[in-house]
Amino acid sequence: MSHDDKQVLQFLGRDLKNMVYGQENAIDALVAAVKMSRSGLALPDKPIGSFLFSGPTGVGKTEAAKQLAYSMGVPLQRFDMSEYMERHAVSRLIGAPPGYVGFEQGGLLTEAVNKQPHCVLLLDEIEKAHPDIFNVLLQVMDAGKLTDNNGKSADFRNVILIMTTNAGAESLSRPSLGFTAKRERGDEMQAINKLFTPEFRNRLDAIIPFAPLSEPIIVKVVDKFLLQLEHRLLDKKSKPNSHRHCVNTWQKKVSTRKWARARCTA
């Protein structure tokens, strides 16, 4: 591990918590897993880390992946797995079989990793992917590489693989305390165990749960996005009074919770 890597990892938890609100436990688990994988103790022929982020929509799962990539100084490669629900869509990821249209082009997934072998690879809503894609991911998590239908291999050993799921989110629709919280966490894990095979789960470095956001945290998230909106408007040379008026109007017309959910990515 280089000196720069050590410095990044030293402050990784702090940096992520400054950008992803209300998910201290999830970030602690993620940082611990990343540090373990970068310590030299992990198996060499595997991705840096393979993680499943679970939890309701709009609580910071995708944002955590984005901020992890930013903090690690690597690009984010994102795939919406709802676009790969059909069997024929698998060929878009790993290339068409010989004799089929597009055979020469290669797959989107293998091409993306070949172009940017050091990256955070985000597969959003993995539960929506066709079952054949899970066989592809088993190869990635097992051997740290993927061979497409052209016979071309992509090296995943420098990739942080993050998959998100909403499985069990209904049981976590509202914050809870004590025994109820433990029971709902158990319900979430039961849903995950039902949806994902043992072969898949056993190859993950960690399943990291993201909790529902409390009202104060939602307000903080909204403030963050409003500030980003102001900066974008200023970049477009919008008059300060004008964009402040728009922000105030939106705050009055749209509830905090709805606005936060509209702006947050899962």
Convert the pLDDT of each residue in 26-64 to its tens digit: 999 999 988 887 777 667 889 999 999 999 998 999 999
Q: What distance in Å separates the CA atoms of residue 228 and residue 105, rounded to the nearest whole number? A: 38
Task: Provide the domain limits for residue 228.
Answer: 217-263
Q: What distance in Å separates the CA atoms of residue 221 and residue 225, rounded to the nearest whole number? A: 6
Residues 175 and 80 in one domain: yes
pLDDT of residue 209: 94
Residues 162 and 225 in one domain: no
Residues 164 and 241 in one domain: no
Residues 205 and 233 in one domain: no
Q: Are the C-beta atoms of 210 and 32 separated by less than 8 Å?
A: no
Domain CATH number, residue 141: 3.40.50.300
Pairing of strands 159-165, 49-54: parallel
Residues 119 and 236 in one domain: no
Confidence of residue 168 (pLDDT cuts 50, 70, 90): confident
- Assign residue 237 a region (left: φ > 0; alpha: ψ between -120 and 50; beta: otherwise): left
Question: In the predicted model, is pLDDT for residue 244 greater than 80?
Answer: no
The number of folded domains in the chain is 2
Pick from 194, 213, 232: which residue ends a domain?
A: 213
- If you average pLDDT over residues 189-204, what whole number do you get? 93
Confidence of residue 241 (pLDDT cuts 50, 70, 90): low
Residues 59 and 170 in one domain: yes
Residues 96 and 179 in one domain: yes
pLDDT of residue 206: 92
Mean per-residue pLDDT of the chain: 82
Residues 97 and 198 in one domain: yes
Convert the pLDDT of each residue in 204-240 to its tens digit: 999 999 999 888 888 888 888 888 887 787 777 665 5
Residues 156 and 258 in one domain: no
Question: Cα 158–59–188 angle (5° rounding)?
Answer: 85
Q: Are the C-beta atoms of 62 and 261 separated by less than 8 Å?
A: no
pTM of the predicted protein model: 0.81
Residues 209 and 223 in one domain: no
Residues 37 and 116 in one domain: yes
Residues 184 and 236 in one domain: no
- If you average pLDDT over residues 69-86, what whole number do you get? 95
Give the C-alpha distances (Å, rounded to integers) separating 67 from 11, 34, 99: 13, 14, 41
Convert the pLDDT of each residue in 13-22 to its tens digit: 999 999 999 9
Question: In the predicted model, is pLDDT for residue 76 greater than 50?
Answer: yes
